[in-house]
Structure 1
Amino acid sequence: MRRERVEGPPSHVSPLSPTPSPRCPWPAAASRRRLLVLACLPALLLGLETGSAPLLTAQPRLECVNGSRDHPRQQQTPGRGFPTILPNPRGIPPLAAAAATTNSSDKCRCNSWDFYLHNGLVRNIVTQWSLVCNSSWKVHIAKFSLLVGLIFGYLVSGCLADWVGRQLVLVVSVLFVLVFGLTLALSVNVTMFITLRFFEGFSLAGVFLSLYVARIEIAQSNQRFMITMVAGFIAMGGQLLTPGLAALCRNWQVLQTVIICPFIFMIPYWCIFPESLSWLLATHQSHAAKDLLLDYARKHQQEPEEDVKEFLSELEKEPPVKAQKVFILKLLSTRILWKHILVLCVTSRPGFGVHNCFIKSLMDHEGDTLANFYAHYYTMEVVGILSCVVMCFLVSLMGRRGTLLVFTIVTALASLLQLGLISNLAPYLQQPFSLVFSLIGLFSSHSMGNLSIFICAELTPTVMRAGGLGLVLASAGFGQLTAPIMELHNQKGYFLHHVVFACCTVICIICILLLPESGGRELPVSLEDADVYPRRHLLTSRRSARSLLSHTELKSYSGLASHPPHRDTPSPTVNGHSPTANGPSPTANGPSAIVNGPSANVNGPSANVNGPSPTANGPSADANGSSADVNGPSADVNGPT
């Protein structure tokens, strides 16, 4: 008999685990909601920090006050100075500042400048330290330092979260954000700003990653995606509020202080936000899990439920085992998991990298309407919000993998059409078509990058979830690095960057087919669970396929239900030939034609009965185990034929 593979959630107990841990029913509904609220609220602060990043380095409009009078008016378009500090909820790369007009020494003969910002601030780091002309490259280094800090922060904090726990990494990262963020507001020169910006990005990466993992591990399987999207919407709400907050603060130092100070309220998370129970059980820290449950019930003055009491009794029976923590290098010894992580890294990098190319293309053709800072800022935010809304709808309809494939195909088409079609159109059609393709590319690439990160969090096992997620986030950060690199070289190589990312996006279409569908499944716990994660066909329905007929009905209609076991007896023959009728097979809708006599052998002419159509009202005719085909009506004989 052929054995069919049953697709179901990966086991919570690894077959190679020395002491399997029972599945914990905690936290309860009320406790789970409380923890999810605590894990989603800090997204507002992260959104404010994300939105403030481009304001600090926005290029102002310049006007010479003292110096050569023949110096032309230097004007630069204000833009989004930083890419977002977090790949989730969305990265908004900077607009390329028109710094080429200030890099030439013959145009920079002015001794002092008047700066005019159009983003709500009166002063930022560019105006405070006059980072124009020959010093304009320092602005791009400041952007570069933030992204490099984020990349290293994702890698280091991910490994530490799998080794020492999510709670400790979260609290320590919050403390570092307070220290480096407040010190950043007191910077006395641009060198100090660049250095502190690196460490601030390093700390913010730890906060974002630990909260992202906590939400995934606390939420139920049918709520993980929606909880992640809720946190993303909260973060984008913070980004929408940032320009208004900047207009109230007027100074970048005041704005930085106002955004960082609320992180003080996250210090009590050491007491009110417990360690991940899933991680404790996955690493076989049973006694720590038991203490966590009892301590949580005591702090909230709750009596443990019956299933929790049974769970505690099972924990007490387990022998003490050394904690089995997994380092990220263990990923190389897996059979399939490393391929999934590699595919998601390849997908997230062009997802965020090509986003910068669409922003640059949008800036080149945006005209007077989008040249305004607020119009451009809120256009990007609205595109991100609509992208998340459509992504929620498609995920519920097509699943994670199908939605990722659709957005990847759309991103690749938008990139290829913009690179190869725009130049061949009539001049009056180039600008509108380029604008449309840029908006479509922004829309799809945003969802492509974010969904890659989310799928990684679901496919990576609990013992290595933070480390695997850190790899994908770091890969996304490398994609964002293209923006300051292109700005540093005065946009030289922009077309080549777009071509490379477009080709990578096309390759991602094939790679996504190697990923399994993670929707509606329990999270894998061990490396062995992740290696046996089932992969369904892309066109298979999310619900298990169900036959139109039951097994009993199939047997009845096929005649298998009434067949006795076949015996090795010779078939009835007529002059050496099978007595089959000149018509179709004698099948019918009634009882079987049974001959209760010996084998129907006729040693004469062909047994041909003149009757109606050779179709009897029964399934296949059975003569003591041999076929007895008759050319007449129902063949019911009580003796030899």
Structure 2
Amino acid sequence: MEPEVRVLRLAGGFGRARCLLAVASWLPCVALGLALSSELLLTALPAHHCGSDPARARSTCLPLSYPESVPRAGSDGARPCSRGWYYAQPAADLLRSPVTQRNLVCEDGWKVPLEQVDHLLGWLLGCVLLGLGCDWFGRRAVFVGSLVLATGLGVGEALVASFPALLTLRLLRGGALAGASLALYVARLELCDPPNRLAFSMGAGLFSVVGTLLLPSLALLAQDWQLLQGLSALATGLLLLFWGFPAVFPESPCWLLATGQPARARTILWHFAKASGVDPEDSTEEESSLAMGNGLAREKRDLGARGRRTVVIPSLVPHYVPWSTELDVLCAGHPQPRHHSVLELRHTHVTWKNALILGFSS
């Protein structure tokens, strides 16, 4: 049994408080799923033709050129569109989108896949950089910080006036949303016992699908992409009013133990134990024997270290070992936390193998 899992079980296990918190972590997935799935609606290409071509030629980009003032079926060439474009409405339930607002068709059609790749690149960078930040600064700090960034950047997208600025904001907001999703996912895994992690992860995935299914209804209600972006930013902002409080979304005790912060971990575990109806200063006989058995093994290991570490001998404590004492012993036996760089992934064979598989399948 992992030491962190043992301490969590001594502090009440996967009781009522941790279970409710894990279920509540599904709710932000609705807003995150709504924001992350908006790409298809914003870049949808409606049927279009040049506004100066009443005959609607076969080419949607080059209208026919007529030798007479009255249009007729025959033509002697084609000319560039000079009177704007006519779009079939609505496009993906939106009367106005970035494509129709900036005429991203024909000679400017390359800007649409550029915006899509830009959003995907932001997502990938957010997973890498903010995933690294989860280990450096904590799950809660990255989650709340990412929500703040996503809200501000979403408002900026709704008010943006140029296409280069839109690309920049889409890149940054994609990274912020990826960081929030990743931090919430890791915190949920560390909150649940190993047997329950798959079920709660599937529940979070279903709530993300709910957010994706709500997006067309919001688009039909808003009918304007800027208003839709404003509603998406409002949804992430509302998460801060509830999930911004440490009592609602505390830091992961596993991360605190792994980074040598037993005082903060003890406070959170005490809250979990009391909320689950468990006396934090008591433990069952089975848990006590488990803790004492692991303490004896740790005593032998520490004695072999020639006194370089203070040893807590289980025989000198009462017949049961409370979780707080076990927490102290656990932190005393842990080495200093180590931080890793993203560049170390180059030396991981699994990374290269998965990259090769994904590249071939793509």
- For the pair 1:152 / 2:125, whether they are aligned, the reply is yes
1:313 deviation in Å?
2.3
The 5 A counterparts of 1:215-254 are 215-254=188-227
For 1:23, which of 7, 13, 17 is the aligned residue?
Answer: 7
**CA distance 1:230–1:332, shift in 2 (3 Å):** closer
For 2:268, which of 261, 275, 292 is the aligned residue?
Answer: 292
Query: Which of the pair has more CA radius of gyration?
Result: 1
Query: Does the Cα contact within 8 Å between 1:56 and 1:252 map onto a contact in 2?
Result: yes
Q: Distance in 2 between matches of 1:127 and 1:212?
A: 36
Relative contact order (alpha carbons < 8 A, sep ≥ 6): 1 or 2 greater? 2
Partner residue in 2 for 1:339: 349
1:160 deviation in Å?
0.8
1:343 deviation in Å?
3.7
Query: Does the Cα contact within 8 Å between 1:173 and 1:203 map onto a contact in 2?
Result: yes
For 1:62, which of 43, 48, 59 is the aligned residue?
Answer: 48
- For the pair 1:205 / 2:178, whether they are aligned, the reply is yes
Structure 1 runs not aligned, ≥5 long = 1-10, 14-19, 77-104, 351-499, 503-641
Question: What per-residue deviation string (whole Å, max 9, x for no partner) do you get for residues 179-228 of structure 1?
Answer: 10111011112121111101100101101111111222222222222211
Question: What per-residue deviation string (whole Å, max 9, x for no partner) do you get for residues 294-324 of structure 1?
Answer: 46668x6966443498111223455497741
Runs of 4+ in 1 over 6 A off after TM superposition: none
Partner residue in 1 for 2:135: 162
Q: Distance in 2 between matches of 1:23 and 1:331?
A: 30
Partner residue in 2 for 1:109: 81
Counterpart amino acid of residue 326 in structure 1: H
Partner residue in 2 for 1:311: 323
The 5 A counterparts of 1:131-146 are 131-146=104-119
Counterpart amino acid of residue 12 in structure 1: E
Counterpart amino acid of residue 269 in structure 1: W
Q: Distance in 1 between matches of 2:342 and 2:111?
A: 36
TM-score by length of 1: 0.43
Q: Distance in 1 between matches of 2:213 and 2:59?
A: 30
CA-based RMSD: 3.1
Partner secondary structure for residue 142 of structure 1: helix
- For the pair 1:269 / 2:253, whether they are aligned, the reply is no
For 1:33, which of 19, 22, 28 is the aligned residue?
Answer: 19
1:119 deviation in Å?
1.5
Partner secondary structure for residue 37 of structure 2: helix
Q: Distance in 2 between matches of 1:332 and 1:51?
A: 29
Query: Does the Cα contact within 8 Å between 2:346 and 2:352 map onto a contact in 1?
Result: no
Partner secondary structure for residue 87 of structure 2: strand
Partner residue in 2 for 1:619: none
The 5 A counterparts of 1:445-524 are 500-501=360-361
Question: What per-residue deviation string (whole Å, max 9, x for no partner) do you get for residues 502-537 of structure 1?
Answer: 7xxxxxxxxxxxxxxxxxxxxxxxxxxxxxxxxxxx
Counterpart amino acid of residue 325 in structure 1: R
Query: Does the Cα contact within 8 Å between 1:121 and 1:249 map onto a contact in 2?
Result: yes
Please identify which structure carries the higher helix content.
2
For 2:340, which of 313, 327, 332 is the aligned residue?
Answer: 327
Q: Distance in 2 between matches of 1:163 and 1:45?
A: 26
Q: Distance in 1 between matches of 2:361 and 2:333?
A: 51
1:44 deviation in Å?
1.0
Q: Distance in 1 between matches of 2:127 and 2:327?
A: 33
Q: Distance in 2 between matches of 1:251 and 1:137?
A: 22
Q: Distance in 2 between matches of 1:258 and 1:169?
A: 23
For 1:283, which of 239, 259, 277 is the aligned residue?
Answer: 259
1:59 deviation in Å?
0.6
For 1:172, which of 145, 148, 157 is the aligned residue?
Answer: 145
Q: Distance in 2 between matches of 1:223 and 1:22?
A: 16
Question: What per-residue deviation string (whole Å, max 9, x for no partner) do you get for residues 445-500 of structure 1?
Answer: xxxxxxxxxxxxxxxxxxxxxxxxxxxxxxxxxxxxxxxxxxxxxxxxxxxxxxx4
Query: Does the Cα contact within 8 Å between 1:60 and 1:75 map onto a contact in 2?
Result: no
For 1:72, which of 57, 65, 85 is the aligned residue?
Answer: 57
**CA distance 1:319–1:330, shift in 2 (3 Å):** farther
Partner secondary structure for residue 176 of structure 1: helix
1:107 deviation in Å?
5.9
Query: Does the Cα contact within 8 Å between 2:94 and 2:222 map onto a contact in 1?
Result: yes
Partner residue in 1 for 2:28: 42
Question: What per-residue deviation string (whole Å, max 9, x for no partner) do you get for residues 90-110 of structure 1?
Answer: xxxxxxxxxxxxxxx956424
TM-score by length of 2: 0.74
Counterpart amino acid of residue 57 in structure 2: P
Quick one: percent identity of the two aligned structures?
29
Query: Does the Cα contact within 8 Å between 2:151 and 2:233 map onto a contact in 1?
Result: yes
Counterpart amino acid of residue 30 in structure 1: R
**CA distance 1:112–1:195, shift in 2 (3 Å):** same
Partner residue in 1 for 2:165: 192
Query: Does the Cα contact within 8 Å between 2:152 and 2:233 map onto a contact in 1?
Result: no
1:331 deviation in Å?
5.1
Counterpart amino acid of residue 51 in structure 1: S
Q: Distance in 1 between matches of 2:111 and 2:264?
A: 49
Counterpart amino acid of residue 132 in structure 1: V
Partner residue in 2 for 1:12: 2
